[in-house]
Amino acid sequence: MAEGIDVYKRRYGQNPKSLWRDLKGTVEPFYVTLRNMFKKPVTYQYPEEKRTPYPRYRARIVLTRDPEGGERCVACYLCSAACPVDCISMQSSEDENGRRYAAWFRINFSRCIYCGLCAEACPTLAIQMTPFYEFSGRDPLKMVYEKEDLLIADGGKDNEYNFYKHAGIGVANPRGGNEDEYGPVDVRSNLP
Amino acid sequence: MSDFAIDILLILVKLGLIFAVLLTGAAYLVLAERRVLGRIQRRYGPNRVGPFGMMQPLADAVKLLTKEDFIPAQADKPIFFVAPGLAAVTALLAFAVVPFSPPITLFGREVPMVVCDLNIGVLYFLGLSSLAVYGIALGGWASNSKYALLGGIRGLAQLISYELAMGLSLVPVVLMAGSFSLTDIVLAQNPVPFALLNPVAFLVFLISTAAESKRIPFDIPEAENELVAGFHTEYSGMRFGLFFVGEYINMMILGSMITVFFLGGWIGPVLPPIVWFFAKVMAVAFVFIWMRGTLPRLRYDQLMHFGWKFLIPVSLINVIVTGALLLWLKG
Amino acid sequence: MPILTIDNQQIEVLKGTNVLEAAKGLGIVIPHFCYHEALGAVGACRLCAMNFVEGPVKGIQMACMIEAKDEMVITTTDQASQEMRARVIEWLMMYHPHDCPVCDEGGECQLQDMTIAGGHDIRRYGGKKRTYSNQDLGPFICHEMNRCIQCYRCVRTYQDYCGGTDFGVLGTNQRVYFGRFRDGRLESPFSGNIVDACPTGVFTDRTFRYRTRYWDIEEAPSVCPHCSLGCAVIPGGRFRELQRVRGGVNKQTNGFFICDRARFGGGYGNHPERPRVPRVDGAQTTWPEALRALRKRITDLVARHGPGAVAFLGSPRASLEANYLLDSWAASLGSRRIAFDSHWQHDRSARVAAGKLGPRAASLEDIRCSDFILMIGVDPLNEAPMLALAVRQAVRRGVRLAVIDPRPVTLPCAAAHLPLAPEALPDVLEALAGGDIRRLGRREAVLLEGILEQLRAAERPVLIGGPDLLGAAGIERLLDTARLLASEHRPCKVMTVLAGPNSFGCGVLARQGPDFEAILNGMLAGEIKALVCLESDPMTGSSDPARTGMALGKLELLAALDYLPTAAAHHAHLFLPTTAVPESAGVYVNNEGRMLLFSSAMDPGTPISVSGGGDHPPRTFLPATPGSEPRPAWATLGHLQGRRLSLRDIRQAIEMEHPNFAGLSSLTTGGEGKRIADISPPPETAPEIPFPHSEGEGTLRLYAMEDFAGSGELAGYASALAPLRPTPFVMLGALDAKQRSLSDGQQVRLRSELGGVGVALRVVPDLPAGIALVPRLRGTALESYVPGRGHYDCQILSEDEEKT
Amino acid sequence: MKQHEQVLFKNRSPGETAFLETYRKSGGYQGLEKALTKMSPEQVREEVKKSGLRGRGGAGFATGMKWSFFPADKPGEKYLVCNGDEMEPGTYKDREILMADPHQLVEGMIISAYALQIPVGVIFIRYAYEQCSRNLERAIAEAMEAGLLGKNILKSDFSFELHLHRSAGRYICGEETALLNSLEGVRANPRSKPPFPAQKGIFGKPTNVNNVETFANVQHIIAHGSAWFKNLAFTESGSGTKLYCLSGHLERPECFELPIGISLGAVIEEYGGGVWRGRRFKAALPGGASTPYLTAEHLGVGLDFDPIEKAGSRLGTGAVTVFDETTCMVAATLNLNRFFARESCGWCTPCRDGLPFINWLLEKIENGQGEMGDIDMLREQIRNINGRTFCALAMGAMGPMQSLVDLFEEEIIDHIKKRCCPLKT
């Protein structure tokens, strides 16, 4: 005990107020918790009471389309690289117009943790999170969604964006046909 | 039917009653704790199983019973099996000496409302609470897991440390009552309970029992965020359930002990003595739950520091002061 | 050895090192684009700016252009040099398209890394972007000029290093364009290197187009199995499929680059018909079943006919470990009938080289550093492509190169070519060694005089020969010549081009043992009842496929361990699948006796693209990977002998048994490898097998030769190489053609002992008289013409003549 | 208009070209005769060194000094190259020489070849100078015929063959190492220095490269002596005469041969006839498009190498381009920079991409979309381009650019504040 007091003195000096503060600090929380016990709980009683999530709520993932109705996803693998639980897999391919797209695209929702890193990584705004959260099942295979299940007929957030119109490699527009580009250089001419 | 047989029968009936009351009490104490903690945190707590979640303990029991009984590969199996039982049984045994009502007259026989009114009840209680250490120490050791072992060692150190303070804080009680029998101790508190007569011993005992029951803020052996689940990390199913139930039975035992030693046992006006007794036990249990909802966990060194450098000296001084006072009073 | 200070750290470097390399030695990596270790510094990108505080040069300078000197004090972290680097990156990124997501370089793009490292984050340039039109550069290379940052690496690789002429720089100022004059396939057999050289996505691998990302590829340092040079390659797999191969770095062998055969010819392991399941008598079965059956049948045969009834055939494309275990298995059964190459001439040549090459073995690096090169009977571009590139590096330094070969040896550099008939080659070697040149023809004598003079004057001459035309005897003579030409102060090094990646190792293991000819005779005589083939196909590999086929037909048991759908694997009574090179680890001993480790980049299995039918993978889940039955040959062979061995154990056992391989178990992958110690005593050379020649009217001596993409066993199964395979043709000298009034390009009939085939005629100006050449082209009528077998007698007739 | 002694333009008369006969009459090939018969190569080199002749191609490096680095006495292949790739905007002096009197160049090259003991010479001439190359072809043929060129010139032991090569037409070919590459038949990209052409030039052999005007001066030095040559100049440090090509907003934009050191004001007023349309002088480029601007305060500066450098510019090729008061300097500099950006060979990044970046910046400012931060950005670009490129082309472009931000910053700010070009009507 004597040493306890010594320690106390070393720590707080001779100020008796400190002891008072400590005692108060020990007892006061009991009052706080007791007071809270008589307040109304803030819990939503979920299945009976439903809450409308905010538009940026992160739940079921979709693949969106550009304004022309083309698939936005270019299968760049950035979402699968960003995914911390490795629930996204795909195979990229090239169509006859030179457009890169996902030959297949799969999200295993039974693994997904809805962290939103895929949507954040997506450079073409293809992969987006929706607020649809009532999403569960008993068969893991039914939670494995393929591209057909994921694609929606809408642009989602930032509806107007079309990656290929900005890419600068002449897939949607002819080469050099974007508004921020000069036409292709004629390398056989030295004329300015 | 001989008297002896009737005595045996009575003891068995009492035992059965106590067993049932204790186990259901422990189960509902879990529910109560979860509800109270919920309210402290402004949520409801379990309210889905049955009205007000009353069936929750049953659901928990079913769940625990049906869960896979998992044994780690390198575990020391016999000890691993025994440890949870040890924890629960030592807790249960302590109740043998608790008197929860004055003796009643039944069919002309005076029946003491205690399983066994030992004249050394206090020592019996202290001995059993020392044995409780084995449950967690062996459980932690036998799991062959670093978390469990660490939890077990911590539990060992903590329980042994606080036992001293607990024992010392009971010395003034024995001095004041002049008996080791719990019934005598209760009777000695009429009309003033020892909590008022000797508040220092009461507080030391309260804190020590909280530490003995390994509850927040003294849940160092479990400490989820350091040791996963401490000594019972590797336990699952009903074995875990035994540890779990043991803890809550322990809580009730300690509540009863506080009632017996300091709160005047069954003594109280108007209401029948047994109601008083249970009301007091429940009040103590509520305090424990309240404490859990309020205080954060101590650090290991703080815990040891507090036990050895504060509680033990304080209770020693209290023994001397109380002894001196009694000598002077009776003097 | 100058000592200089960079960012307050001192470093001592070799004289002539540039400051950029010196900084790299300290772990300070300054962004750079145009500098490449193999291509040198040209100071075009201006990115590696450092601040030279003290020393002979001052101020902001390009580190790659400045030689490290004593007392230089340099900072790389000061504001001025950092600003310079940030601005250079900004300039380079002015026009760069916004297409990283659809660019195959993304993830392994130096421009991405350097942009971040250089400190340029936001594009301030608000003007319009320059764009280019792309070219179709053929089946191997994709062109996306908009991404170009004009580091000139591609053209320096393609033109300067690899000697390609059909690709270059066009235009000036910011409209500089890298491409061909007009669309078309890049003609150089080293064209793929511009993919590795390009720091961004201008040139990407078309066979790898949109296949996968760098971070998803499983890669491991490996060794190219297509020829005997042992070039370092890095195969990469994903979804159980080989996705691509890129060049590795081994300064002793390939340096930094690889040939297109190595790069695009990796697909043999993904051949659609690859046998992946053990088979017993044509029926698929499980591993334990197949192993039990093989063990039982062999035990039965040994019990009935004695150990001599079982013969074994190793392979120059199997790892040293597997060949060794086959050898030890044969020994444990008591059979001495084991050969390691079904091609007699190749087998013998490898043994000669293994026995006699010794310290005179020239590595490719020795060739690059040599000062006179004589190539005799070797056609590098077809037999060992990277040799041609090594020779070119010497020639670029002004080194003279002489080629003595009947074939029209094309090289990416200037050479003096003396076309002599194959029979004359050993005489030439003898003349060079003995100095008696007069007995050759006059024209030859004059040229040889010059060669001999230069050989004697050179300080580091190298002789290079190949077994196809020289034969084992010729190889031996080549080694003797080198020994005679060398003196104490002046080494004369030799390189022998061998057949397979592990020919040398097989040569060491074979020593005095029997050759396949003896085994063949045993099979024909009925003494040998069983043959176990380890990753080898005697049906197409031996010098006489017809006779081999007959012999195999007489066997009671033909067991094959392989990963290719070869004829032997197809006909085998017992087949055990093994893993392809990118899927396995092991050691190859290359043609100079250098032990090179390769490790496994991926696991075997049916590719997802196959099991999913090109669409998404099947929605069924199995505990086992489909098609993953193949096991490494060494593991299977160990299992068959009841030994549980790790690769390390095997290597230690090899070291114990063959002290030549000292240091084998301490080798690491990705290193330069280690040359093996010499064998003593060298094996005896078996007498040549003469091939009859009837000098009839109009008969020509027909020699088969290797083709870049058409001849190799592995290359034959690599579908990506298809565009490089020529249509069948026969080459004839101008005089012979004139005599027969045949003209170039004409469709002719080639008639020989192997039957008649219609092929196109190529008239070559300086082919020796009386000689015709055909490439061995697998999968065509020319498949059965085996190089290195000697000559076939043939007649070449025009289609009309044939009809009459 | 005061007449000064004409040396290079001695035989100039409008519309006519002096060939061998005229040239000989005016004392041509006497220098060669003197050199070959009376002087040793060392003496010739010494004489040129004493004359203080400085290269007329733009850099102004002392010719005697350059020659002293040349391994003249070592045997082996060596080359003499004349740089006639005159493409600097505003410069046309070589054309004037070759149109008036091409033999001067031929003789100058023979003497130089003798001095440096070089057997082969090449004249690299600009593609557009068609008439000049015809004149040169004729002059060379005439000299060959007269035994002044070829084997054993003037019956001495010295032989020299001279070739004419017409450029394929690119400004960068005027850079000496790019010129050598161009002569070798590869892309006309500059080479890194060191090694200098004197050590490793065409095909790796020692090569001496000089300008047309420099060579043309050599024979006059030899014929009349270095003291005479030195006296021609106005200034103490200078020597000889210089062809000043006047252009821009002048009444009489012509080429005059004037003594070195004559003041800028005198040239403009006396010979150029003053700024046109009676307007006031605003700025001038004293030596072609790659030299910094001079302003009205510099009108008294003598047009010689050292004084101009003191004034913050360079004599360059002596091509004086004058801008009147109505000129927008931002637009003028943008025009110059466009030229350099277009003529970049595309080898190194700061030149290839940095100059277009500046183009974009200046265009933005000129179109009134500039922001105040753009001036800092411009300075930052200049700072990182200047002296950090592979060759001197971008450095030349940064000459006027640097002087634009130094001397005319107010004007740029005006552009930005008014959100348009203040001088555009």
C522-577 pLDDT, tens per residue?
A: 999 999 999 999 999 999 888 888 899 999 999 999 999 999 999 999 999 999 99
Residue C688 has pLDDT above 80, yes or no: no
CB contact under 8 A, A37 and B39: yes
pLDDT tens per residue across span C185-244: 999 999 999 999 999 999 999 999 999 999 999 999 999 999 999 999 999 999 899 999
Taking the CA of residue D188 and the nearest CA in chain C, the distance in Å comes to 10
pLDDT band, residue A179 (cuts 50/70/90):
confident
What is the DSSP annotation of C623-665? SS-TT---B-HHHHHHHHTT----HHHHHHHHHHH-GGGTTGG
Length of chain A: 192
pLDDT tens per residue across span D264-289: 999 999 999 999 999 999 999 999 99
Q: Which residue in C106, C129, C609 is closest to A182 by CB distance?
A: C129
Which residues are registered as beta bridge partners of D244?
A: D256
Neighboring chains of A (3 or more beta-carbon pairs < 8 A): B, C, D
CB contact under 8 A, C91 and D344: no
Q: Angle D329-343/D393-407 helices, nearest 10 degrees?
A: 170
Chain A residues with CB-CB distance to D352 below 8 A? none
CA A166 to CA A158: how far, in whole Å?
Answer: 15
Contacts of C116 (CB under 8 A, 6+ apart): none
Phi, then psi, of A60 in degrees rounded to 5: -45, 140
Same domain membership, residue D204 and residue D115: yes
Distance, C-alpha D353 to centroid of its chain: 26
Across chain A, mean pLDDT equals: 86
Compare all CA atoms of chain A with the CA of B37 and give the residue at the minimum distance.
A37
Compare all CA atoms of chain B with the CA of A31 and give the residue at the minimum distance.
B294
CB contact under 8 A, C175 and D343: no
CA D229 to CA C355: how far, in whole Å?
Answer: 79
Compare all CA atoms of chain A with the CA of D168 and give the residue at the minimum distance.
A190
CB contact under 8 A, C215 and A81: yes
Out of 1.10.10.10, 3.30.1600.10, 3.30.70.3270, 3.40.50.1820, the CATH code matching A61-165 is 3.30.70.3270
pLDDT number for residue A12: 59
CA B80 to CA C605: how far, in whole Å?
Answer: 44
Mean pLDDT of C451-459: 89
Taking the CA of residue A120 and the nearest CA in chain D, the distance in Å comes to 32
Q: Is A190 on the interface with D (CB under 8 A)?
A: yes
Pick from C769, C777, C774, C778: nearest CA to C791 = C774
Across chain C, mean pLDDT equals: 90
CA A34 to CA D27: how far, in whole Å?
Answer: 121
pLDDT tens per residue across span C379-391: 999 999 999 999 9
pLDDT tens per residue across span D364-392: 999 999 999 999 999 999 999 998 999 99
Least confident of B52-61, C94-103, D104-113: B52-61
CB contact under 8 A, D169 and A190: yes
Chain A residues with CB-CB distance to B43 below 8 A? 41-43
C533 or D15, greater pLDDT:
C533
CA A9 to CA A7: how far, in whole Å?
Answer: 5
Least confident of C431-445, D175-189, D304-318: C431-445
CATH code of the region C349-498: 3.40.228.10
pLDDT number for residue C443: 78
pLDDT band, residue A158 (cuts 50/70/90):
confident
CA C593 to CA C636: how far, in whole Å?
Answer: 26
Share of chain D above pLDDT 70, in %: 100
Phi, then psi, of D257 in degrees rounded to 5: -95, 115
Classified by CATH at the fold level, domain C700-803 comes out as Barwin-like endoglucanases (2.40.40)
A107 by DSSP, 3-state: which?
strand
Share of chain C above pLDDT 90, in %: 68
Taking the CA of residue D404 and the nearest CA in chain C, the distance in Å comes to 21
pLDDT number for residue B90: 81
CB contact under 8 A, D170 and A192: no
Mean pLDDT of C485-490: 86
CB C68 within 8 A of CB C110: no
Taking the CA of residue D360 and the nearest CA in chain C, the distance in Å comes to 6
> In CATH, what number is assigned to the domain containing residue D279?
3.10.20.600
Chain D residues with CB-CB distance to A192 below 8 A? 338, 342
Burial readout C334-348 (b: 16 or more C-beta within 10 A, e: otherwise): ebebbbbbbbbbbbb
Query: Of A182, A190, A191, which to mutate for an interface test with D (greatest number of D Cβ within 10 Å)?
Result: A190
Q: Is C79 on the interface with D (CB under 8 A)?
A: no
Q: Is D126 on the interface with A (CB under 8 A)?
A: no
CB contact under 8 A, D344 and C125: no
Residue D134 has pLDDT above 70, yes or no: yes
Residue D291 has pLDDT above 70, yes or no: yes
Reported in sequence order, the residue ranges of C31-99 that DSSP labels E, i.e. its strands, are 49-54, 59-62, 73-75
User: Count of A–D CB contacts within 8 Å?
Assistant: 4
Q: Which of D231, D254, D274 is the last residue of a domain?
A: D231
Neighboring chains of B (3 or more beta-carbon pairs < 8 A): A
Chain A residues with CB-CB distance to B41 below 8 A? 36
Left if phi > 0, otherwise alpha if psi is -120 to 50, otherwise beta: which for C790? Answer: left
pLDDT number for residue B262: 87
Q: Which of D294, D324, D354 is the last residue of a domain?
A: D324
Residue D273 within a domain: yes
Compare all CA atoms of chain C with the CA of A90 and give the residue at the minimum distance.
C616
Q: Which residue in C46, C95, C173 is closest to D350 by CB distance?
A: C46
Taking the CA of residue A183 and the nearest CA in chain C, the distance in Å comes to 6
CB C40 within 8 A of CB C17: no
Residue D13 within a domain: no
CATH code of the region C279-343+504-675: 3.40.50.740
Q: Is C694 on the interface with D (CB under 8 A)?
A: no
> In CATH, what number is assigned to the domain containing residue D216?
3.40.50.11540
Compare all CA atoms of chain A with the CA of D171 and give the residue at the minimum distance.
A190
User: Count of A–C CB contacts within 8 Å?
Assistant: 108
Residue D203 within a domain: yes
pLDDT number for residue D216: 94
Taking the CA of residue B118 and the nearest CA in chain A, the distance in Å comes to 35
**Domain span at D128:** 20-231
Q: Count CB-CB contacts under 10 A for residue D416.
A: 18
pLDDT band, residue D196 (cuts 50/70/90):
very high
Taking the CA of residue D364 and the nearest CA in chain C, the distance in Å comes to 9
Least confident of B100-114, D91-105, D182-196, D297-311: B100-114
Taking the CA of residue D131 and the nearest CA in chain C, the distance in Å comes to 27
Chain C residues with CB-CB distance to D388 below 8 A? 46, 49, 60, 84
CA C315 to CA C341: how far, in whole Å?
Answer: 5
Q: Which residue in B40, B44, B310 is closest to A37 by CB distance?
A: B40
Residue D3 within a domain: no
pLDDT tens per residue across span D153-165: 988 999 999 999 9
CB contact under 8 A, C213 and A77: yes
Mean pLDDT of C735-753: 90
Counts of helices then strands in chain C (DSSP H, E): 26, 35
Q: Which residue in D169, D170, D342 is closest to A192 by CB distance?
A: D342
pLDDT band, residue C157 (cuts 50/70/90):
very high
Residue A65 has pLDDT above 90, yes or no: yes
CA C178 to CA C104: how far, in whole Å?
Answer: 19
Taking the CA of residue A111 and the nearest CA in chain B, the distance in Å comes to 24
pLDDT number for residue C295: 94
Residue A11 has pLDDT above 90, yes or no: no
In tens digits, chain B (331 residues) has pLDDT values of 577 887 788 778 878 888 888 888 888 888 888 888 888 888 888 888 888 888 888 888 888 888 888 888 888 888 888 888 887 788 778 877 788 777 777 777 777 777 777 778 888 888 888 887 888 888 888 888 888 888 888 888 888 888 888 888 888 888 888 888 888 888 888 878 888 888 888 889 988 888 888 887 888 878 778 887 777 888 888 888 888 887 888 888 888 888 888 888 787 777 888 888 888 888 888 998 898 889 888 888 888 888 888 889 988 998 898 888 888 887 6
Domain boundaries, chain A: 2-37, 61-165
Residue D15 within a domain: no
Residue D364 within a domain: yes
Chain A residues with CB-CB distance to B39 below 8 A? 36-38, 41
Neighboring chains of C (3 or more beta-carbon pairs < 8 A): A, D
pLDDT number for residue C686: 62
> In CATH, what number is assigned to the domain containing residue D371?
1.20.1440.230
Same domain membership, residue D172 and residue D62: yes
Chain A: residues touching B (Cβ < 8 Å): 1-4, 7, 26, 29-30, 32-34, 36-43, 45
Contacts of A69 (CB under 8 A, 6+ apart): A153
Is the bond preceding residue D71 a cis peptide, omega within 30 degrees?
no
Residue D93 has pLDDT above 70, yes or no: yes
Domain boundaries, chain C: 3-93, 132-270, 279-343+504-675, 349-498, 700-803
Class of domain C3-93: alpha beta
CB contact under 8 A, C131 and A168: yes
Mean pLDDT of D157-184: 92
User: Count of C–D CB contacts within 8 Å?
Assistant: 85
> Pairing between strand C9-12 and C557-562?
unpaired
Residues of A numbered 28-87 whose beta carbons fall under 8 angstroms of chain C's beta carbons: which are they?
74-78, 80-81
CA C355 to CA C17: how far, in whole Å?
Answer: 39
What domain count does chain D have? 3
Across chain D, mean pLDDT equals: 92
Taking the CA of residue D203 and the nearest CA in chain C, the distance in Å comes to 13
CB contact under 8 A, D352 and C65: no
Chains D and B share 3 or more Cβ pairs within 8 Å: no
Mean pLDDT of D172-197: 91
- Give the DSSP letter of residue D271: I
pLDDT tens per residue across span C598-657: 999 999 999 988 888 777 888 887 888 888 899 999 999 999 998 888 999 999 999 999
Residue D24 within a domain: yes
Contacts of A4 (CB under 8 A, 6+ apart): B305, B309, B310, B313
- Give the DSSP letter of residue C726: P
Contacts of B124 (CB under 8 A, 6+ apart): B94, B96, B97, B118
